Amino acid sequence: MTDCATCVVRNRAICASLNPAELAALGKMGRRQKVRAGQTLLWEGDGAPVVANVLEGVLKLVVSTADGREQIVGVVFPSDFIGRPFGKQSPYCVTAMTDAEVCIFNRGSFEEFAGNHPDLQQKLLRRTLDELDRARHWMMLLGRKSASEKVASFLLEMSERLAGQGCHTDTQAGFELPFGRQQIADILGLTIETTSRQLTKMRADGLLDLPSRREIVINDRAAMEMMAG
């Protein structure tokens, strides 16, 4: 059982559609769970027994081929929803990129609850439509953009999404990525070497600074947008 009153994403997650009584009912079904960086919450092809809201941290959705190649197909932040309601199995695996905390529900119970709460279902629909838009733009990036365009697009999107999280709004230009080079490569459909070379080149061209492994400071946002294509 979860105490929704103290929930940090109370107003941003899909739960925002519920009144106090409804929230209490849903809260009884959910429980908070901590997830360590690297730990996997849901496996690809799994029965997808749970759904969850992200309270804290960042998780990735990964699809793999039989021979071990990986593509990250989604990155989720606090207040985002994870899992696959109304489906037989999870089409991807969900792994924490940082230490994280989620509010977890049995999938069947959640589906039943959702069926009786149209407002919740509408919020979920809106979120899913947004995710679909994002996925489709990402498809354009994967299918048609060059390495430099990919990296530039990625940095711009991340700077926006991280700012949206309210984490590092102080300076809109600089931010800390919640993941390393290999994971950037898995997001962009590149190798780690190509990713690294592109970043190095951008630094050489004065487009950005790399104060530490995971920090990015965009010096020339206009040029970066130009480069993103």
Partner DNA sequence: CGTAGTTTTGAACAACGTCAACGGCTGTGG
Partner DNA sequence: CCACAGCCGTTGACGTTGTTCAAAACTACG
| Minimum distance of DNA from residue 97's CB (angstroms) | 12
| Minimum distance of DNA from residue 212's CB (angstroms) | 6
Asked if 60 contacts 97 with a C-beta cutoff of 8 angstroms, the reply is yes
Q: How far apart, in whole angstroms, are the C-alpha atoms of residue 77 and residue 53?
A: 9
Asked if 54 contacts 76 with a C-beta cutoff of 8 angstroms, the reply is yes
Q: Which residues pair with 74 in a beta bridge?
A: 61
From candidates 128, 169, 171, 172, binder to its own copies by CB under 8 A: 128
**190 in contact with DNA (CB under 7 A):** yes
**194 in contact with DNA (CB under 7 A):** yes
139 binds, among its own copies, DNA, none (CB under 5 to 8 A by kind): its own copies
Q: What residues between 135 and 154 interact with its own copies by CB under 8 A?
A: 135-140, 142-145
Of 12, 2, 5, 15, the C-alpha closest to 114 is 15
What is the phi/psi pair of residue 174, to 5°?
Answer: -105, 145
Piece of the chain touching its own copies by CB under 8 A; list 51-59, 120-128, 164-172, 202-210: 120-128
**133 in contact with its own copies (CB under 8 A):** yes
Q: How far apart, in whole angstroms, are the C-alpha atoms of residue 138 and residue 206?
A: 26
Q: Can you point out the beta strands (E) in the chain?
A: 31-35, 40-42, 50-56, 59-64, 70-76, 81-82, 93-96, 100-106, 174-176, 208-209, 215-218
Give me the residues that bind its own copies (CB under 8 A), please: 61, 63, 65-67, 69-71, 73-74, 84-87, 91-92, 115, 118, 121-122, 124-126, 128-133, 135-140, 142-145, 188-189, 229
Give me the residues that bind DNA (CB under 7 A), please: 146-148, 180-182, 189-197, 199-200, 210, 212-214
